[in-house]
Each structure stands twice: as C-alpha cells, then as structure tokens.
Amino acid sequence: MNKKRGKKKLQFSQRVVIYSMTLIPMCIIGNFILSWCGRETLSDMVISVIGSFSAFITGGYFALSGARDCSKNKHHITEGE
C-alpha cells in the first residue's frame, strides 16, 4: 500500500471549502495592502468574491447533501448504515 496510515485523502467538497476560505482572506489582505500603499482599492471586487464563494459553498453543500440523500433513498440505506 502506498497510502500512509492515519492520513485521509481530502474530499472535493473539503478542498473547495479550504480554497475559498484561503482566497477570501487573501483578497481582503490584498485590499488593505493596496489601501496602505495609496493605490486604488478593490473593495467592490472583494465583496463580489466573498459573495460568490459564499453562495458557491452554500449551494454546493445543499447539492451534495441532496444528492447523498437521494442516493441513500434509492438504495434503501437507513441512517445507521
């Protein structure tokens, strides 16, 4: 086996959450750096990025949960299995 014990592979949804949670603070920090240097800020863009990724994460979570529930219902899997 090539896999190390104790390390689990991240799921796609977990990767998306990690990516978006690092991208949002990076945009905000970049906005403050531009403001500090006296350049034009990206406040409208930062608000758009935060809103779109928040909607993407929320919508993706509901889609994933719904697809998982439909699959459980299709294969008659109960909650404990």
1-20 pLDDT, tens digit each: 455 566 778 777 777 777 77
| Residue showing tokens 């294969």 | 75
Domain with 35 in it: 13-74
The pLDDT value recorded for residue 1 is 46
Is residue 63 domain-resident? Answer: yes
- Report yes or no on whether pTM surpasses 0.75: no
The CB-side HSE value for 64 (13 A sphere, CA atoms) comes to 11
Average pLDDT, the chain: 76
Is residue 32 domain-resident? Answer: yes
Average pLDDT of the segment spanning 50-61: 80
Sign of the torsion angle spanned by Cα atoms 69, 11, 59, 17: positive
Alpha helices in the chain (DSSP H): 12-36, 43-74
Kindly tell me if the per-residue pLDDT of 24 is higher than 90.
no
Q: How many structural domains is the chain composed of?
A: 1
Residue type, 7: K
Q: Which two tokens stand for residue 46?
A: 């930062």
